[in-house]
């Protein structure tokens, strides 16, 4: 029985009172009510105790989190200040670099302008010097020729040999001067082109005749694979294309051993271009030097050993002429096996370079 109910019953009815069943039932209900109240009170007290404990723990966690956030904020703010300073320094360095770059660009522009001026002066000097040299050289050529022809019976073999060597050297100098003049005109854009309709195979046959003597003496087998049907007329400067063919064939003859083979071909391609090939089984071009073949003054190491003369301008001039006609020039070569040089010229738009 609940202690409160028991105390009240003893106060009013004494120790060991006897009650009828109805009163017992009533007292039982009252006892249950007191007991339920005590249980609720205990639960409520415990609930308050737990809530208070949880609140303290949560408050501690929040306080700790705020402290951590404060520390993190201070750290972030410090990093932001540091990064801002670094960025400012980088911007200043970039500005200095840009100023240097602008200055160097301006210097480069001035240097380039100066280089163009010097190149123009060089071209003008070469042109004037070449023209001035050609006149006395032509006179020397004429004099040597006259001496050889008119005194051939009065000269001994040694004298004739000396005069012929002088004549050939003079011819090489004149050829070099002419090539330098051509290069100067090409680079200055002053080269003149006289366009006319020409059949390429006819032009090739005319050039081949020029080398008939050399190839015969050296027993070089010379073959022109003439196309079965006539090629269409192409609008070109025949004299300049003739000089290209002469250079290609001359190189093939120079660097092919006695008894070798040279094949020339001409054909119409599917893209409407005429292709010309000059193939030899000569000394070929070293692989490590092939990228420089069309450069001015280039001569391969093995070519110098075979032929000491030569300016190294021929292929540069030839490629420039072909490209001026809207075409392309290239080659394939294996050292010790031979070389094949090609060029393509468009049939339709080789009208005006």
Question: How far is the C-alpha of 88 from the C-alpha of 95, rounded, in Å?
Answer: 11
Instruction: Answer positive or negative: Cα dihedral of 63, 64, 69, 70.
Output: positive
Question: How far is the C-alpha of 328 from the C-alpha of 324, rounded, in Å?
Answer: 9
User: What are the boundaries of each domain within the chain?
Assistant: 1-135, 196-346
Question: How far is the C-alpha of 162 from the C-alpha of 141, rounded, in Å?
Answer: 14
- HEC string of 289-304 equals HHHHCCCCCCCCHHHH
Q: Are 222 and 211 in contact (CB under 8 A)?
A: yes
Q: What are the percentages of helix, strand and coil residues in the chain, rounded to 5? A: 65, 10, 25
Write the CATH number of the domain with boundaries 196-346. Answer: 3.30.565.10
Quick one: pLDDT at residue 125? 65
- Nearest of 349, 208, 329 to residue 277 by alpha carbon: 329
* Unique residue bearing structure tokens 């023209």: 131
Structure tokens at 1: 């029985």
Question: How far is the C-alpha of 149 from the C-alpha of 235, rounded, in Å?
Answer: 42
Question: How far is the C-alpha of 120 from the C-alpha of 126, rounded, in Å?
Answer: 10
Listed in sequence order, the residues at least 6 apart from 311 whose beta carbon sits closer than 8 Å to its beta carbon are 175, 176, 179, 180, 297
Between helices 314-324 and 157-188, what is the axis angle to 10°?
40
Question: How far is the C-alpha of 321 from the C-alpha of 244, rounded, in Å?
Answer: 8
* CA-to-CA separations, 124 to 179, 180, 189, 304, in angstroms, rounded: 15, 11, 13, 30
Residues in the chain: 353
Q: What is the mean pLDDT of each run of 10 residues along the chain (353 residues)?
A: 65 70 71 70 65 69 83 87 89 89 88 77 66 75 76 75 81 78 78 88 91 87 89 92 93 90 93 93 90 85 64 87 93 93 82 43
pLDDT tens for each residue of 256-284: 989 999 999 999 998 889 999 999 998 99
Structure tokens at 67: 């402290």
Which one-letter DSSP state was computed for residue 233? P
pLDDT tens for each residue of 303-336: 766 665 667 888 999 999 999 999 999 999 999 8
Question: How far is the C-alpha of 72 from the C-alpha of 28, rounded, in Å?
Answer: 65
Beta strands at 338-346 and 328-334: parallel, antiparallel or unpaired: antiparallel
């Amino acid at each position: 029985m609940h202690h409160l109910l028991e105390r009240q019953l003893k106060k009013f009815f004494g120790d060991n009172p006897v009650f009828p069943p109805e009163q017992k039932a009533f007292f039982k209900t009252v006892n249950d009510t007191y007991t339920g109240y005590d249980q609720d009170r205990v639960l409520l007290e415990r609930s308050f105790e737990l809530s208070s404990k949880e609140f303290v723990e949560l408050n501690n966690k929040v306080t700790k989190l705020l402290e951590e956030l404060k520390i993190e904020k201070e750290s972030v703010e410090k990093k932001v200040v540091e990064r801002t300073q670094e960025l400012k320094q980088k911007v200043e360095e970039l500005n200095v670099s840009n100023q240097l770059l602008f200055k160097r660009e301006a210097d480069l522009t001035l240097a380039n302008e100066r280089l163009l001026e010097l190149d123009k002066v060089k071209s003008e000097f070469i042109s004037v010097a070449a023209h001035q040299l050609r006149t006395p050289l032509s006179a020397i050529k004429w004099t040597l020729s006259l001496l050889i022809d008119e005194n051939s019976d009065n000269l001994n073999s040694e004298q004739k040999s000396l005069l012929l060597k002088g004549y050939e050297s003079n011819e090489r100098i004149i050829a070099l001067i002419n090539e330098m003049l051509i290069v100067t005109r090409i680079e200055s854009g002053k080269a003149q082109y006289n366009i006319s309709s020409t059949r390429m195979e006819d032009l090739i046959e005319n050039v081949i005749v020029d080398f008939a003597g050399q190839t015969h003496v050296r027993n070089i087998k010379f073959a022109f694979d003439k196309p079965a049907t006539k090629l269409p007329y192409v609008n070109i400067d025949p004299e300049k294309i003739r000089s290209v063919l002469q250079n290609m064939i001359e190189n093939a003859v120079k660097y092919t051993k006695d008894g070798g083979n040279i094949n020339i071909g001409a054909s119409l391609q599917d893209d409407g271009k005429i292709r010309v090939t000059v193939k030899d089984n000569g000394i070929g071009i070293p692989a490590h030097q092939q990228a420089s073949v069309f450069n001015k003054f280039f001569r391969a190491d093995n070519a110098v050993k075979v032929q000491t003369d030569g300016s190294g301008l021929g292929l540069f001039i030839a490629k420039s002429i072909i490209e001026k006609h809207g075409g392309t020039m290239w080659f394939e070569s294996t050292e010790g096996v031979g070389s094949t040089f090609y060029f393509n010229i468009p049939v339709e738009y080789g009208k005006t370079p």
